[in-house]
């Protein structure tokens, strides 16, 4: 049985260039970047090169990139740090109700510390307008945190239109963007978008797990979360995980530019949406203009886990929501106001550049078969009762 992997929003397969770079950094350029000898200097040069390239992809400067263990740590550093810096000036934080758990859990903790947290709800198509976001910002707002792309339904939020406008309302507010699902997939320019803080992760773009970054605009001095030797602008001391960082940069270098890849991904998403729409009972949750890497749908009457296991048994791997939610009911779809039966039957398909038409057609055929088989089973159980 040939496997079809369609859970790329959870993690991607590491690409060959990233693997080669990581092996090289573990077996050849293996020195500590802080060491003063030749091996240390060589490692330091690799670290600088990785930092410079990743900064360039965001329109940032090299010294504005702080390496982390992934998106969760980057989000935590950004939110806790921004709140600490801003609490002298106000206690209001604006975000959305369908952020990633690594943002929502931090906001819950900050709320317990006395911050006022405003969570904007998306509409039934998963959208929140620029006007709604700006309308929630008041002069005492100290932090605005918005995801660039929703990780379950693929909605692209108007993140690039917020930064400049919010500063006119709340001049002291810091603007954070969780770009974990967007990095390398859509154009991002932190300068043009007036972004202060931005999170990204390697394992969403065919890089290794355990590497991420936080863009911190020059002049912003976040408080340290790990004390020691002062690495990473003093924010998180400790010897840098150079093999993972190098693999991150290599994966980003190997990722096609959005201008080239997005049209191809749109064709794949359109094919998938068309085929799914032809299956009786299927409801599409992802809007048509969502990031084409993600298609979320429901088949009311068949629980997510049941369909997931049916597909897995046929060598097709998808998810029932965010991998970081531990199987809990989707807070994203709940925030969108969808009915419980629709939420309980939701499936997230997430593609990569390696996903092809044959895989998508096989997926649709298997879902159709699963729908017919599982519906008959469910109806048979009802009659038996």
Query: Which tokens in the block code for residue 295?
Result: 């298609």
Q: Is 9 helix (H, G, I), strand (E, B) or coil?
A: coil
Query: Which tokens in the block code for residue 100?
Result: 């990633």
Q: CA-to-CA distance for 347 and 330, rounded, in angstroms? A: 10
- 13 vs 19, 65, 108, CA distance in Å? 10, 24, 33
15, 118, 272, 324: the catalytic one is: 324
Sheet holding 294-298, edge to edge: 283-284, 294-298, 346-350
Residue 358, number of CB atoms within 10 A of its CB? 10
> What are phi and psi for residue 347, nearest 5 degrees?
-130, 135
Burial 142-173 (b: 16+ CB within 10 A, else e): bbbbbbbbbbbbbbbbbbbbbbeebbeebeeb
Torsion of CA 76, 80, 82, 86, to 10 degrees: 170
Q: CA-to-CA distance for 268 and 91, rounded, in angstroms? A: 44
Residue position matching structure tokens 């859509």: 186
Active site residue 324: yes
Nearest residue to 302 (alpha-carbon basis) of 364, 348, 345, 349: 345
Q: CA-to-CA distance for 243 and 231, rounded, in angstroms? A: 16
Residue position matching structure tokens 């202060």: 196
Asked if residue 138 lies in contact with residue 91, where contact means CB atoms within 8 angstroms, the answer is no
Q: Which residues contact 167 (CB under 8 A, 6 or more apart)?
A: 173, 175, 194
Q: CA-to-CA distance for 282 and 284, rounded, in angstroms? A: 7
Q: CA-to-CA distance for 274 and 294, rounded, in angstroms? A: 14
- Catalytically annotated residues: 324
């Amino acid at each position: 049985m040939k496997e079809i992997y369609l859970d790329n929003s959870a993690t991607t397969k590491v690409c060959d260039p990233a693997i080669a770079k990581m092996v090289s950094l573990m077996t050849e350029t293996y020195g500590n970047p802080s060491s003063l000898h030749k091996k240390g200097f060589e490692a330091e040069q690799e670290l600088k090169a990785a930092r410079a390239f990743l900064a360039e992809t965001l329109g940032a400067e090299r010294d504005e990139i702080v390496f982390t263990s992934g998106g969760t740590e980057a989000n935590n550093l950004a939110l806790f740090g921004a709140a600490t810096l801003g609490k002298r000036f106000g206690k209001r934080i604006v975000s959305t109700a369908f952020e990633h758990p690594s943002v929502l859990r931090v906001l819950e903790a900050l709320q317990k510390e006395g911050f006022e947290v405003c969570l904007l709800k998306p509409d039934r198509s998963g959208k929140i307008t620029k006007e709604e976001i700006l309308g929630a910002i008041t002069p005492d707002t100290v932090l605005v945190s918005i995801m660039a792309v929703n990780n379950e339904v693929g909605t692209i939020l108007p993140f690039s239109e917020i930064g400049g406008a919010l500063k006119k309302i709340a001049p002291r507010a810091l603007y954070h963007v969780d770009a974990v699902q967007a990095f390398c997939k859509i154009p991002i320019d932190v300068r043009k978008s007036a972004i202060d803080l931005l999170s990204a992760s390697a394992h969403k773009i065919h890089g290794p797990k355990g590497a991420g970054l936080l863009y911190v605009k020059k002049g912003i001095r976040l408080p340290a979360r790990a004390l020691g030797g002062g690495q990473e602008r003093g924010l998180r001391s400790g010897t840098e995980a150079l093999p993972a960082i190098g693999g991150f940069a290599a994966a980003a270098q190997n990722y096609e530019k959005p201008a080239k890849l997005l049209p191809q991904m749109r064709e794949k998403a359109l094919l998938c949406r068309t085929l799914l729409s032809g299956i009786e009972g299927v409801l599409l949750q992802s809007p048509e203009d969502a990031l084409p890497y993600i298609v979320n749908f429901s088949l009311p009457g068949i629980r997510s886990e049941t369909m997931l296991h049916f597909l897995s048994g046929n060598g097709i791997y998808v998810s029932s929501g965010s991998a970081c939610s531990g199987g809990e009911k989707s807070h994203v779809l709940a925030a969108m106001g969808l009915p419980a039966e629709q939420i309980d039957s939701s499936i997230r398909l997430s593609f990569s550049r390696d996903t092809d038409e044959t895989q998508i057609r096989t997926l649709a055929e298997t879902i159709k078969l699963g729908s017919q088989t599982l519906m008959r089973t469910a109806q048979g159980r009802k009659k038996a009762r």
